[in-house]
Structure 1
Amino acid sequence: MSGPTMPRLVRAEWTKFRSVPRWVLGSAVAALMIALFPLAGLSGGAPGQKSPIPIEPDGGPVVDAFYFVHRPLPGDGRITVAVTSLTSPGAGAGSAAAPWAKAGLIITAGPESGSRYAAIMVTGGHGVRMQHDYLHDRAGLPGAVSPTAVRRLRLTRSGDTITGEASADGTTWSRIGSVRLPGHTTVQAGLFVACPQQTRGPGTAPDMATAEFGLPELAGGWSAGTWTGDQEGARSATFSGYPPGGNGGFTSTGSGFRVTGAGDLAPATRGDLPVAAAAGDLLVGTFPALIVIVVVATLMITTEYRYGLIRSTLSAATHRGRVLVAKALVFGGVTFATSLATTVVSVPLWLRLVRDLGLYVFPATPGVLLRAEAGTAAVLAVTAVLALGVGTVLRRSATAVTTVVGATVLPYLLALIPFLPPPMAQWLTRVTPAAALAVQQTLTRYPQVDSVYTPANGYYPLPPWAGLAVLCGYTALTLALAAVLLHRRDA
């Protein structure tokens, strides 16, 4: 006899599942936890953002704070300057300045926070860069600046086009890039210094930088007048301020200017807006839902062992592995369908509610939201199959539940501990099944921004689908072991 076909086995397992009210109720409770658990995070109310958040032209939050020594430029023109040093008190051993401390030339389109700009700069650890509009970064000459390694920078405005150049000797110039800054007749241009927050373990601290400039050389249609210095973005929500006792400013040195500044020109991260929310935060109900799903999945197999029903199940199937696959298809499919329906409906509703309460939410594209929603459903479904396999191997409900919860939920909860070293948090969410929760990430990690990129802040070490692949790998190995044992052991 060939035994029942796979469709008949699936139908039989579906009949078993829906005939046990506790299993059906468990699936419903898991979905309900995903939908309602964000209430726990809002029980104390959602604090509104008291200071304005700078928003860049494409709609994302940014850090737009720097010390600016400027003059108006109503038409075409050029500014050239030599940078002879860049230092910051928060620099690590062997470095004069923090890696992304910045000093150079900038042209801004307006005084409003989040306005477009083009800048060429030296940095503490990444050489010369040309950056514009917060998101865009292009490398130039390598190496740190010093009195023996002077960097000369140049910005040229011609119509709507801004061109950045750099030179190590003042004779040979390298063009780093050109950008368009349309729609503005008069712009502000000049010297700037910025220094982002220091990253200290799981937290950050304000920092500042000081740069030595030569006298700026001007050409073209500059307005007459003197240089004016201002701390831009001082009242914005993403400006961390100066270290205790520190202040921004500029002084004339006779041969040029000494400028001290703090802040950054870059996309904002969770470290810059700690009270803001991310769409992934609204999927916090995944963790209690996982526990419920694990319990139901293990009971689907261990109950049959406990009451001896497994003998009847296996006697009807000549290929025992098919029984395991049928159970996985039924409960994995039910879990994916109910979880996907819940996330697709609840996430947009929660996003609207959170915004109505006055809490800023980091923007996420519809594609990113759909990936987080479908990915969450996939994590729950694959974990259900993992639990089914572990239950088959161990045959005991309590032991199986403890094993799966310890492998999936516990590593992530440990990664949330504030004093856990970031490398350990990264390791826990890279090599354990908890890596799959990377599918819920809706924040972006920027290579030109140093920040606290940890799971506690919503950043994962693996890309979303790579993290899910780690869980799938564990599940495949467990299911294969379960199938082998199911064939070798007596029922």
Structure 2
Amino acid sequence: MTRHPMRLLRAEWTKFRSVPGWVRGSVVAALLILLFPIAGLGGGAPDQASPVPIGPHGGPVSSGYFFVHRPLSGDGRITVAVSALTSVRGDGAATPWAKAGLIVTAGPEPGARYAAIMVTGGHGVRMQHDYVHDRGGRPGAVSADAPRWLRLTRSGDTVTGEESPDGERWNEVATVRLPGLAATVQAGLFVACPQHVEGIGTAGDAATAAFGAPRLTGGWSAAGWAGDQVGAGTATFAGYPRGTTGSFAPAGDGFTVTGAGDLAPATRSELPVGAAAGDVLFGTFPALVVIVVVATLMITTEYRYGMIRSTLSAGNRRVRILAAKAAVVAGVTFTTCLVAAALAVPLWLRVVRGLGVYVFPVTSGAALRAEVGTAALLAVAAVFALAVGTILRRSATAVTTVVAAVVLPYLLALTPFLPPSMAVWLTRFTPAAAMAVQQTLVRYPQVDGLYTPAAGYYPLPPWAGLAVLGGYTALAFAVAAVLLCRRDA
């Protein structure tokens, strides 16, 4: 006799709540999400001695560069040729995002608004402003035989960047607006060079550029050029390599300028003591283990004690029975873990901020997605464990298999000594890809950095990562359904 689906659900729900261990397991998993961050605070708050510069968009920025400048009152234009750009760690050339060019800045403080036209070591000419905005121009590197001319024009609070191969034929790269730009600003030449990524770490770097004679029109001061390192002493400035320092010196009619730092959004590698919203959800890992055990036992216990015969004899639609079990364990897991995640994120972010730790900004939408995604991740993992338990029919073997498939790749990806390429592979193609649903950090294409899972960056978008786990779960469930129908109880 075929039982109505709602009766099957009711029967499986009654069975679930009648086993105290399964109920306690679900509660423990939720409590681990909510309370496990305490373990990470056992050593107290990490020391953040240097100030974190904040950009106009409200996020942390790297705002360090060597600035050769003079005052500009009102409108004006500066034109210069760049004939060389090299860096300490560039093997005679320049690291890809080493920068040299022209800049107008709203103020001397790190994080101030700016607009800049520049040549780079490996990405051609760029027009960038306010750290997060980037527009590409003509590709190619500069050299003495192929200099690149740059021109920056200020008109009110509008700044236009142009580039030329010969100083005669000009191509506009971008026009940007800097709201609130003062009547008198500092403008001129700049050189920056971000940290060099080396394997699983970074190293300080510096770049040197050769500029021709600057051509000035408009309200420029008659005072001479002055040179300063901007951003020294901030948390995102790595300093200069040993034996190198920021400087500028006359070279013919122009200048040779050496600088370090960057003008870009800050990454986790530049703020290693900074916290992200996803960090306070690291109780997901132990909660996942508990959920796997509970979901596996829901089916393997019936096989162990022979109760599966009475379960399957209650109806001739075995797949419906398996689906009912999946709905119950997924529903319980999603509900309890969603409540825990929704409480954990705002609570622990407030605690972390109270301890003086910098927290990367997160939108309400991204926080909500991380909370709902965490609950969905655990619910899907529960169904995956139930399916594997149905296939293998033995608790220890099934739990070990699921932990090895979901938990182990995640732990390996978090190992700081694992090559970044391997960590990316593990979180792209294994069920551990689902952890991407918790990421709240933004990866910017104009910034090189350690974009690894250990730093909170995943190779797949959040829901795409969860879909990978969903694919494994669908496959396991289909195999489990076929075997359940073909096997004798």
Asked if Structure 1 and Structure 2 have the same fold, meaning a TM-score greater than 0.5 normalized by the shorter chain, the answer is yes
| Contact 1:242–1:262 (CA under 8 A) maintained in structure 2 | yes
Q: 1:322 aligns with which of 320, 323, 346?
A: 320
Structure 1 Cα separation of the partners of residues 159 and 488 of structure 2: 77
CA distance in 2, matches of 1:62, 1:291: 37
| Contact 1:84 1:146 survives alignment (8 Å) | yes
Q: Measure, in 2, the Cα distance between the counterparts of 1:450 and 1:164.
A: 23
Give deviations 1:68-119, integer Å, cap 9, x for gaps.
0000001110000000000002115xx6100000000000001111100000
> Which of 125, 129, 139 pairs up with 2:126?
129
Q: C-alpha distance in 2, partners of 1:382/1:159?
A: 56
The offset of 1:60, in angstroms, is 0.3
Match of 1:47 in 2: 46
Q: Which moved more, 1:42-51 or 1:54-63?
A: 42-51
Q: Secondary structure at the match of 1:221?
A: strand
> 2:432 is matched with which residue: 434, 449, 454?
434
Cα distance in structure 2, aligned partners of 1:11 and 1:91: 67
Contact residue 281 and residue 344 of structure 2 kept, 8 A:
no
Note the C-alpha offset of 1:48.
4.0
Moved more, 83-92 or 382-391: 83-92
Contact 1:79–1:155 under 8 Å retained in 2: yes
Post-superposition Cα deviations, 1:13-70, rounded to whole Å, max 9, x if no partner, equal 0000000000000000000000111111110001242111110112100000000000
Partner of 2:203: 205
How much does 1:245 deviate?
Answer: 1.2
SS in 2 for 1:143: coil
Match of 2:174 among 172, 177, 181: 177
Q: Map 1:99-138; keep pairs closer than 5 Å.
A: 99-138=96-135
User: 1:417-432 to 2 correspondence within 5 Å?
Assistant: 417-432=415-430
**Deviation string for 1:190-217 (max 9, x for gaps)?**
0000000000111100000000000100
1:397 is aligned to 395
Quote the residue 1:9 is aligned against.
8
Q: Deviations over 1:433-476 (max 9, x none)?
A: 00000001010111000000000000001110110000000000
| 1:351 lines up with 2:349 in the alignment | yes
Correspondences of 1:68-467 after superposition (within 5 Å): 68-91=67-90, 96-183=93-180, 184-467=182-465
One-letter identity of the residue aligned with 1:33: L
Offset of residue 235 of structure 1:
1.0
Partner of 1:62: 61
Aligned structure 1 segments of 4 or more residues deviating by more than 2 angstroms:
none
**3-state SS of paired residue (1:76):** strand
1:488 matched to which residue of 2? 486
- Relative to the length of structure 1, the TM-score reads 0.99
- Stretches of structure 1 that go unaligned for 5 or more consecutive residues are none
- Superposition RMSD in Å: 0.7
Secondary structure of the corresponding residue to residue 244 of structure 1: coil
Structure 1 range deviating more: 176-185 or 440-449: 176-185
Q: 1:438–1:467: 8 Å Cα contact kept in structure 2?
A: yes
Which secondary structure does the structure 1 equivalent of 2:58 belong to?
coil
Aligned-partner SS, 2:36: helix
Q: State the shift of 1:415 in Å.
A: 1.1
In structure 2, C-alpha distance between the alignment counterparts of 1:102 and 1:38, rounded to whole Å: 40
Scaled by the length of structure 2, the TM-score of the pair is: 0.99
Instruction: Report the alpha carbon displacement of residue 387 of structure 1 after superposing the two structures with TM.
Output: 0.3
